[in-house]
Chains A and B, each alone.
Chain A
């Protein structure tokens, strides 16, 4: 799905060149990501700047250095353009979206019905590393995502870090890995899963300090098979257990762990649909796009760019 847009700034209508998308269905996540290194056009960056609110612009420009400014700019542009795609009646100008933070600081869209557009069931969450910015979208389900570079350097000793911040079970798991590279990778995976969970909860970090919950990964099985047109990956079972209430495995949360473009781990945590009975295993449907807003969107789920490595995922 490639579109080239002619950049005559005075004539280019922002929303007209965004390909509209249907809302995700229940238990489905839409995952959009942009790679900053692929966005070089200064006029495009200026076009993105034009989408931002005055406060957002100020925040972007207060970052020290061009790279950080570009990253902050792309993050806001990605959120605005992504949400604007989910339009039901007519076009939504990404500029018109208003955002607020909930009482715990989690960003949300302020749904307004001025132009008759109201989509209150749309949830989103954003994450970025230095080389990728991602936005996850769901309908009717809280979502949290986290992306990290696989090779991200940890300045502290990994086990010392884990002992300080992770739960006992997780420390034991990491300690049992003798290969330092594998240990590093598993650490990053755990971190992204824990981050995604806390962000999905949306109650701020003090509501769920990392030490108070454990991510369990059951890797008894790893298989993938084709079910009709869908590709179903059953890489492992990922569950979260709250240590404050050990009897209940907090089973209303579903996880997906991905390897993206060979360089990143991405964790998605979403609330299970209320209709699903406790204990039922339902896969997370995932559709992923690599995007340069207004320039091109490429659906990458089912390609090598997106490899499921944890959780029950349907592509």
Chain B
């Protein structure tokens, strides 16, 4: 797992400094939501979000998504991005805790309770896992 984490891509913070380059770079993660209340004539709203995505290990991300999908019983159409918040998927605190437990088992790590409650997005989970896995590898476990 140590070699996996060193291949992790990291966007440099300087991308935030220039607005122009930000706009272009921010298209790495795009979320389009188009919704309308059927039969009601309620206006449809499109929420478009541009985010710079610090790309966590894609394999970690995939496993996190699988565990999240399983815990929350998501339909295959439900889109999961790194920025997706668990709460936005209908996860309550018990779901989040169960997800963390599932991740601990999958990656053989131990998440501090304080850290686990800071995990709000898929990316938070993946980042924390990568960090813990790397720490474990460095400790020679």
> Do A65 and B102 have beta carbons less than 8 Å apart?
no
- Kindly list chain A residues whose C-beta atoms are within 8 Å of the C-beta of B70: 155
- Chain B nearest Cβ from A128, distance in angstroms: 7
- Chain A nearest Cβ from B61, distance in angstroms: 18
Question: Looking at the complex, which of A87-95, A106-114, A178-186, A205-213 is the stretch in contact with chain B?
Answer: A205-213
Instruction: Decide yes or no: A46 and B37 within 8 Å by CB, A58-B47, A65-B75, A210-B113 being known contacts.
Output: yes
- Considering the chains assembled together, what is the distance between the CA atoms of A205 and B98 in angstroms? 15
- Chain A nearest Cβ from B26, distance in angstroms: 18
B33: interface (CB < 8 Å) = yes
B108: interface (CB < 8 Å) = no
B21: interface (CB < 8 Å) = no
- Considering the chains assembled together, what is the distance between the CA atoms of A155 and B104 in angstroms? 14
> Do A156 and B98 have beta carbons less than 8 Å apart?
yes
Instruction: Decide yes or no: A161 and B101 within 8 Å by CB, A69-B35, A209-B113 being known contacts.
Output: yes
- Convert B29-66 into 0s and 1s, putting 1 for each residue whose CB lies closer than 8 angstroms to a CB of A: 00001010111101001010000000000000000000
- Considering the chains assembled together, what is the distance between the CA atoms of A191 and B93 in angstroms? 10
> Do A191 and B88 have beta carbons less than 8 Å apart?
no
- Considering the chains assembled together, what is the distance between the CA atoms of A61 and B45 in angstroms? 8
Task: Tell me which residues from 50 to 69 in chain A have a Cβ below 8 Å from any Cβ of chain B.
Answer: 57-58, 61-65, 67-69
Task: Tell me which residues from 82 to 110 in chain B have a Cβ below 8 Å from any Cβ of chain A.
Answer: 88-90, 92-94, 97-98, 101-102, 104
B79: interface (CB < 8 Å) = yes
B71: interface (CB < 8 Å) = yes
> Do A46 and B101 have beta carbons less than 8 Å apart?
no
- Chain B nearest Cβ from A51, distance in angstroms: 14
Chain A residues bordering chain B, tally (CB within 8 A): 36
Within 8 Å by CB of B79, from A64, A154, A164, A204, lies A64
> Do A155 and B71 have beta carbons less than 8 Å apart?
yes
Kindly report which residue of chain A lies nearest to residue B31, judged by CB atoms. Answer: A62
- Convert B106-123 into 0s and 1s, putting 1 for each residue whose CB lies closer than 8 angstroms to a CB of A: 000000011001100000
B78: interface (CB < 8 Å) = yes
- Convert A203-234 into 0s and 1s, putting 1 for each residue whose CB lies closer than 8 angstroms to a CB of B: 01110011100000000000000000000000
- Convert B17-35 into 0s and 1s, putting 1 for each residue whose CB lies closer than 8 angstroms to a CB of A: 0000000000000000101
Main secondary structure of the interface of A (DSSP, over half): helix
> Do B35 and A211 have beta carbons less than 8 Å apart?
no
A79: interface (CB < 8 Å) = no
Count: A-B pairs, CB below 8 Å:
76
- Considering the chains assembled together, what is the distance between the CA atoms of A177 and B92 in angstroms? 26
> Do A62 and B88 have beta carbons less than 8 Å apart?
yes
> Do B90 and A71 have beta carbons less than 8 Å apart?
yes
A28: interface (CB < 8 Å) = no
Instruction: Decide yes or no: A64 and B113 within 8 Å by CB, A45-B37, A161-B101 being known contacts.
Output: no
- Kindly list chain A residues whose C-beta atoms are within 8 Å of the C-beta of B71: 155
- Kindly list chain A residues whose C-beta atoms are within 8 Å of the C-beta of B104: 164
Task: Tell me which residues from 104 to 160 in chain A have a Cβ below 8 Å from any Cβ of chain B.
Answer: 128-130, 148, 152, 154-156, 160
Instruction: Decide yes or no: A63 and B37 within 8 Å by CB, A161-B101, A205-B117, A206-B117 being known contacts.
Output: no
- Chain B nearest Cβ from A188, distance in angstroms: 9
B interface vs A, CB < 8 Å? 33, 35, 37-40, 42, 45, 47, 70-71, 74-75, 78-79, 88-90, 92-94, 97-98, 101-102, 104, 113-114, 117-118
Interchain residue pairs with CB less than 8 A apart (24): A42-B40, A43-B40, A45-B37, A45-B40, A46-B37, A49-B37, A49-B42, A61-B45, A62-B33, A64-B89, A65-B75, A65-B78, A129-B92, A156-B101, A161-B97, A161-B98, A165-B97, A165-B113, A195-B94, A205-B117, A206-B113, A206-B114, A206-B118, A209-B114
10 A-B pairs with least C-beta separation: A205-B117, A209-B113, A42-B40, A68-B90, A206-B114, A64-B78, A61-B35, A61-B45, A156-B101, A155-B98
